[in-house]
Amino acid sequence: MKHHHFFINASTLVHAHESSSTPCPSSSTRNSTSQWHLSLPSKFNSDLWCFKNSGRPMARSSKLSASFVETQSGGTRWNPSTEQIRILEALYRGGMRTPSAHQIELITAELSRYGRIEGKNVFYWFQNHKARERQKQKRSALLALCANTTDIMSPSAAVSNMGKECSMAGNKKRCRSWNVAGIDDGDHDKEKSCDGTLELFPLHPERKDT
C-alpha cells in the first residue's frame, strides 16, 4: 500500500483523438447538470464540470475485457500515470484536500500533460485519497485505543465494533435503543422510546466494568 506506482501512462494519453463522441454533451444541452446523479456540489455543476464519463456510454457490462479495452482511450476508468500520482500526492501533502472547481481545472490541465484525465478524476482522487488516509489513520488509532481499553468485555467484540457503529452482534442488542430525538434509524426494537427523556437506555441491562 505504500507504493502505488502504476506503470501505465503512455497508452492512456490517447484521449485526444478518441473522444469522438460528444465529449461533454454537447451539442445542445450543455447545461444538463444531472447527467450524473452524482451529488456533486453545485460549484461543480457548471458545464465545465460535465463529468460525463468523457461522453461514452460506459459499456460497463459486456465484459469486453482485455480484448481491446486496453486501448483505454475512453472505455475504461481513469488509470493515473506515475507522474499524475506523484503530483496529486504532492498536492495532498501540501495540504490540499478538497480542491475547488477552479483548482480542479488547473490541476486537470496540468495533469493532462501526463495522460488522459478529466476533472472528475481529480475530484474523485481527492475524495478517495482523503477518505482512505483518514481510514488508515483511524484504524491504527482505534487499534491502539482498543488495546488500551478492553472495557468491552471481549476483545473480539471490541475489534468488530471498531468500524461499525453498533453492530455488536448478539451481545448488546441495546444499541438501537437510544435514538433519542429525531432521525430514527428504522430498526424499531421494543426498547426504543424515542421520547428522549425516558428510557434513554435499556436501563441497566447488564453491567460490565468497574
Query: Which one of residues 77, 86, 102, 208 is an interface residue with DNA (CB under 7 A)?
Result: 77
Q: Of the candidates 29, 155, 163, 169, which one interacts with a second copy according to CB under 8 A? A: 163
DSSP 74-110: SSS-----HHHHHHHHHHHHTT-SS--HHHHHHHHHH
Tell me: does residue 189 bind a second copy (CB under 8 A). Answer: yes
Pattern of binders to DNA over 85-124, x per CB under 7 A?
x------xx-x-xx---------------------xx--x
**Residue spans of alpha helices (H) in the chain:** 15-18, 65-68, 82-93, 101-111, 119-148, 155-163
What is the Cα–Cα distance from 111 to 30, expressed in whole angstroms?
Answer: 24
Nearer to DNA, 106 or 131 (CB): 131
- Smallest gap from Cβ 49 to a second copy, in A, equals 13
Q: Residue 165 or 209: which CB sits closer to DNA?
A: 165
Q: Which residue from 44, 114, 123, 125 is in contact with a second copy, where contact means CB under 8 A?
A: 114
81 binds, among a second copy, DNA, none (CB under 5 to 8 A by kind): a second copy
Examine residue 185 and tell whether it contacts DNA (CB under 7 A).
Answer: yes
Please check whether residue 128 is in contact with residue 186, taking contact to mean a CB–CB distance below 8 angstroms: no
**Does 8 engage in binding with a second copy (CB under 8 A)?**
no
Please give the C-alpha separations between residue 83 and each of 76, 108, 111, in angstroms, as whole numbers.
19, 13, 8
Q: What nine digits make up the cell of 34?
A: 444531472
Residue type at position 131: A
